[in-house]
Structure 1
């Protein structure tokens, strides 16, 4: 029964994660209700999100929707960020992690309020080469905590004039990189429990593919109010833990 419950939690969390970048909003609270320690929960979340992101990334590569070569630099930054975040997380208390998460989420909320371009680019090859190290800092947050990190990546790509669908697709690559970098550190640190990670991961694989199929049906007008609302919910969730 626990296996099935974790499996379906993984499915639902991955759908929310792919479409709106907030898988942690579902996954972390649900697993904490099981009585699973937060660091173990984060480690399982990193493995589940990393593997599910890999499966969707491979599908995008096979369909030639995303160039792995163009993503390689950003993925390297995300890997380094994920490892750094995991390292910091194992040395910070739960309360300190929540305070840092709250500050970052509030900052990103105001970034979203400034507006997110959602027009479709006519020439995908015209997408600029990225010189920003923003994915590194998002990777640190993802590796150390996680909720809202995919939404941060989506917001980053939207600010780079990607369409929402393109932003969601490219985010899968950065999520794979930062999550697997962080998971590698957690695994070596000895806080991975496979009986928890495996069912969540299997559900996440199924949910991520469902989410990618549903994403093209999202309308740009919805995003102007959905994204800020998700950030507010995430901020409220973290503040609730602190209080």
Structure 2
């Protein structure tokens, strides 16, 4: 594996901090880290695996920060975490067998719908209305957690936005939705990281400096979100989702 020079390490540290600051709240850190890692000259498969190393450390840090603030529904995410984990393992393995380009139009459509819905729901996410799950809602959430976990391992862009939207839809406020979504994102990141590592698609010389910076960025970002509340998280969610839509449209037309 190629060892990065000091200038490249500084580049990775800056990129990692900025990406994790945003990612710790609403996801979308891959918008910054994936192009940056491609810029370093790593192969696409190595970029995806190395990015998962940074993403795992980032989501672990933000999950711990949200947990310490009491924003995570532990009983709920405890049984969703394994679904997200094993779903992403399956997705990361299958991405080595078939291309994922066919997902882009579907992802663009879903992100547009998520953004429009959030914009028109003026007071959505300002206060929590979450109640105990009915059997039907629990079954649906099991399917959703598994599917999004698979999607994160297989393709990935927009995972944080989709997870946040799901928890908002189930009645959480923006901070609670962000907190719980990071735990599921940790599961999907960890599952796909382990799979990529076993397939030899992680560059640790690049991934460790990136991950260290993402720990710092996630700590600062999650604590900033807890202090600022929904007034900060909602605009950031809409902005990041809009950027994700633009990035996917750019990839399709290119």
Q: What TM-score, normalized to structure 1?
A: 0.87
Deviation of 1:157 after TM superposition, in Å, equals 0.7
**What is the CA–CA distance in structure 1 between the aligned matches of 2:132 and 2:112, rounded to whole Å?**
25
Deviation of 1:58 after TM superposition, in Å, equals 2.8
Per-residue CA deviations over 1:38-73 (Å, capped at 9, x if unaligned) read: 221111121211122222323333444324333122
Q: How many residues align?
A: 237
Matches within 5 A, 1:1-243: 1-93=7-99, 97-115=100-118, 117-121=124-128, 126-128=131-133, 130-131=138-139, 132=141, 133-216=143-226, 217-220=228-231, 223=234, 227-242=237-252, 243=254
**What is the CA–CA distance in structure 1 between the aligned matches of 2:192 and 2:32, rounded to whole Å?**
20
CA RMSD of aligned residues (A): 2.3
Conserved 8 A contact 2:24-2:62: no
Per-residue CA deviations over 1:177-203 (Å, capped at 9, x if unaligned) read: 000101111111111110111011111
Conserved 8 A contact 2:71-2:175: no
Q: What TM-score, normalized to structure 2?
A: 0.84
**What is the CA–CA distance in structure 1 between the aligned matches of 2:105 and 2:43, rounded to whole Å?**
20
Deviation of 1:210 after TM superposition, in Å, equals 1.0
Deviation of 1:18 after TM superposition, in Å, equals 1.9
Worse overlay, 190-199 or 28-37? 28-37
The 3 A distance-change label for structure 1 pair 17 and 63 is closer
Unaligned runs of 5+ residues in structure 2 are 1-6
Per-residue CA deviations over 1:87-116 (Å, capped at 9, x if unaligned) read: 1211233xxx24413422321321331235
**What is the CA–CA distance in structure 1 between the aligned matches of 2:65 and 2:109, rounded to whole Å?**
33
**What is the CA–CA distance in structure 2 between the aligned matches of 1:148 and 1:23, rounded to whole Å?**
10
